[in-house]
Amino acid sequence: MKKLKNEKELVRKAIAIGVAYAEKRGAAEFEPTDSAAEKLEYIYRLLVHDKLIAPLPEEQVSQETIRHRLAIWASRLTEQR
Check residue 75 and report its DSSP letter. Answer: H
What are the residues whose beta carbons fall under 8 Å from the beta carbon of 78, sequence distance 6 or more? 10, 13
Within-domain flag for 61 = yes
| pLDDT, position 81 | 65
| pLDDT, position 79 | 75
Question: How many domains does the chain contain in total?
Answer: 1
- Prediction pTM value: 0.89
Tell me the C-alpha distance between 47 and 27, whole Å.
11
| pLDDT, position 28 | 87
Within-domain flag for 63 = yes
Q: Which residues of the chain have pLDDT under 50?
A: none
Within-domain flag for 10 = no
Q: Which domain holds residue 43?
A: 16-25+35-80
